[in-house]
Structure 1
Amino acid sequence: MKPAANPFHPDLQRAARLIPNITATRPLLAVMRFLMRFQSTPRAPEDVAVEDVQVPGSAGAPPVRVRTYRPRRTVQGPTPALLWIHGGGYIMGRPEQDDVLCVEFARELGIFVASVDYRLAPEHPFPAPLEDCYAALRWLFAQAGALSVLPERIAIGGASAGGGLTAALAQLAHDRKEVRPTFQLLVYPMLDDRTTTRTDIDGTSHRAWNQGSNVFGWRAYLGREPGGAEVPAHAVPSRREDLSGLPPAWLGVGTCDLFHDEDLAYARRLEAAGVPCDVAVVPGAFHGFDVITRSAGVARDFRGLYTAALRRALFPSSGVA
């Protein structure tokens, strides 16, 4: 019998063989969080100022730590900004894990970047993580003048669960009508708890985040079994029926990503609702490939795509592709 073709992109095949198939559980979560705190962080760059600030939380909630990145080079006048939301399945992660990426955004685009240290499930289920992100976004708008930020050019973005929170934040901001981000950057976002109930998924090509972890993450975030008939408003972005009026979006995902189908379905629904949504599908790419295999050509190209999308959204008159 002829063996099945390798599903992974040539740049990712070696990494795909080495990544262990680990499913998140409550005991393992404590270990994973502990190890993440000892991840090496890059040396503070000379050309980008990095600072941690405490911003007011939502009513009755504690302050939210926001990690900011600002290019040191002289910029004439206020700049656009990006509110970035880290990934981690709603159950782990911290802004420091994306230091390299946020520094690159600030350096390459000449923008102010704020990364949110939101509370994590299961200790803090929905709506706490989303409310923390909303508090950070509201702070960014309220302090736009002091931060030398253009309030009409504030984008939101995130990867994985951070992408899911980005999509939910766009919906929440639309409904509350206090602040309006100009763009949403959705990097392989975790959007739909109903994926946990699918029995037709072949998970052999999934890496970094499998169906078992997906069930655990959504259960922790929702505080109930995922995939049920109803969920609270804004908890699951893909459950929202009316997507009209949301900010334009860019969405990228790999064909070997557990979120591939739910992501493309959401992108199609955005377009159908009149929301422009550019889509990038990377053949043979697994979840988080641009971080796990950062130096691979396909990873660099992918980052280049979403950086260019952010540039177009924040500098619409520049004419830069």
Structure 2
Amino acid sequence: MAVSDYALDPELAPVLEAMLQAAGGPLLDFSDVPALRARLRAAAAQAGTAGLDDPRVSVETVPVARADGSPLDLVLFRPAGDDRPRPALLWFHAGGQVLGTAHDDAPYHASLALALDCVVAAVDYRLAPETEAPGAAEDGYLAYTYVREHAEQLGVVPERIGLAGASGGGAPAAAAALMARDHQDPAPCLLALNYPMLDDRNETRSSHEIVDLGVVDRDQNLLAWAAVLGARAGSPDLHPYCAPGRATDLSGLPPTFIAAAQFDVFRDEDIDFAQRLIAAGVPVDLHVYSGAFHAWDRFTPKAAVTASFEQAWHTFLRRRLHG
């Protein structure tokens, strides 16, 4: 099969075809994570997109000490001009839980802070395979409790802290929400998951359908989960903090937004997670975008389907962050 064999949105298909042609194969190859990281760093350096030059937004890195003394960086993006307390959105970046840092993608984080009039706190959670799950989730929970406990000095409204993640970042975001519930902490005001990577078992229909689209196909997802979990991938007794799709009790989680793409290996596990949240009494906004592939909004920011997604997502975030 080829891209043309999938009924992609007509605005998205030519963009994906061009990217695959330029890459000479799949966009991401998790078979050699160090090599993939090096290639992406080189591409970012060549593009010159590492920094932020926007006087409308202030940026501050706050190191938070883990139990072992190592620092967890929170990169705070705040609309400039006044110091009034604002809601905060803890952001968990994409990358299959093996790629990226909170210091990347500064223009995107800044645009979110401005669009939502909030503090965006990008969480530099630990990556696999160097740190297997639930290390990233533990970082997410530490970030949430730290921001709550230090809300006044951070200029944050403590009752208005949300958790949000895209793709691989959806796992630590959802797991941090589970941890907050299990520790009987005050709940986040929202959980927002964009095409999240939630379930290591890869047993759904979509996980068998999306095998050669070239974005995140079945084989790449299996490789990513193998990095995240090692020999535990697919085991019957895996803890939900390691793969939140494994959770059997979703009660008590905050109002949740889930966006899924029609042609995404994660589609059905995302829909299943939303359905089980609804059954547990959690308010859920579920959106499935026809003709879209994984992370389409980042690759095709001007497409109509991206505008539709961003309007729904930002509306949810503003409503839950600002009350």
The question of whether the paired residues in 2 share the 8 Å contact of 1:56 and 1:139 is answered with: no
Work out whether 1:81 is the aligned partner of 2:85.
Answer: no
Following the alignment from structure 1 to structure 2, what is the Cα–Cα distance between the partners of residues 41 and 246?
35
Q: Which of these residues, 96, 100, 125, is aligned with residue 132 of structure 2?
A: 125
Structure 2 alignment gaps of length 5 or more: none
Q: Deviations over 1:115-134 (max 9, x none)?
A: 01111101110121111122
Task: Look up the match of 1:71.
Answer: 79
Q: Which of these residues, 247, 254, 275, is aligned with residue 282 of structure 2?
A: 275
How does 1:246-261 map onto structure 2 within 5 Å? 246-261=253-268
Task: Look up the match of 2:147.
Answer: 140
Structure 1 alignment gaps of length 5 or more: 317-321
Work out whether 1:9 is the aligned partner of 2:9.
Answer: yes
Following the alignment from structure 1 to structure 2, what is the Cα–Cα distance between the partners of residues 200 and 298?
23
Deviation at 1:198, TM superposition (A): 6.6
The question of whether the paired residues in 1 share the 8 Å contact of 2:206 and 2:264 is answered with: no
Task: Look up the match of 1:47.
Answer: 56
Deviation at 1:21, TM superposition (A): 2.3
The question of whether the paired residues in 1 share the 8 Å contact of 2:206 and 2:268 is answered with: no
Q: Which of these residues, 24, 31, 36, is aligned with residue 29 of structure 2?
A: 24
The question of whether the paired residues in 1 share the 8 Å contact of 2:194 and 2:260 is answered with: yes
Instruction: Please report the TM-score for the alignment, with normalisation by the length of structure 2.
Output: 0.90
Identical counterparts, % of pairs = 36
Q: State the secondary structure of the residue aligned to 1:120.
A: coil
Work out whether 1:112 is the aligned partner of 2:119.
Answer: yes
Specify whether residues 284 and 128 from structure 1 end up closer, same or farther in structure 2 by C-alpha distance, changes over 3 A only: same
The question of whether the paired residues in 2 share the 8 Å contact of 1:196 and 1:215 is answered with: no
Letter in 2 for 1:123: E
Work out whether 1:56 is the aligned partner of 2:65.
Answer: yes
Task: Look up the match of 1:239.
Answer: 246
Work out whether 1:170 is the aligned partner of 2:177.
Answer: yes
How does 1:220-231 map onto structure 2 within 5 Å? 220-231=227-238
Q: Which moved more, 1:214-223 or 1:173-182?
A: 173-182
The question of whether the paired residues in 2 share the 8 Å contact of 1:71 and 1:106 is answered with: yes
Task: Look up the match of 2:37.
Answer: 33
Following the alignment from structure 1 to structure 2, what is the Cα–Cα distance between the partners of residues 37 and 133?
24
Task: Look up the match of 1:206.
Answer: 213
Q: CA RMSD in A?
A: 2.0
Q: Which moved more, 1:256-265 or 1:228-237?
A: 228-237
The question of whether the paired residues in 2 share the 8 Å contact of 1:153 and 1:314 is answered with: yes
Letter in 1 for 2:129: P
Specify whether residues 36 and 142 from structure 1 end up closer, same or farther in structure 2 by C-alpha distance, changes over 3 A only: farther
Q: Which moved more, 1:275-284 or 1:215-224?
A: 215-224
Following the alignment from structure 1 to structure 2, what is the Cα–Cα distance between the partners of residues 56 and 66?
11
Give the length in aligned residue pairs. 310
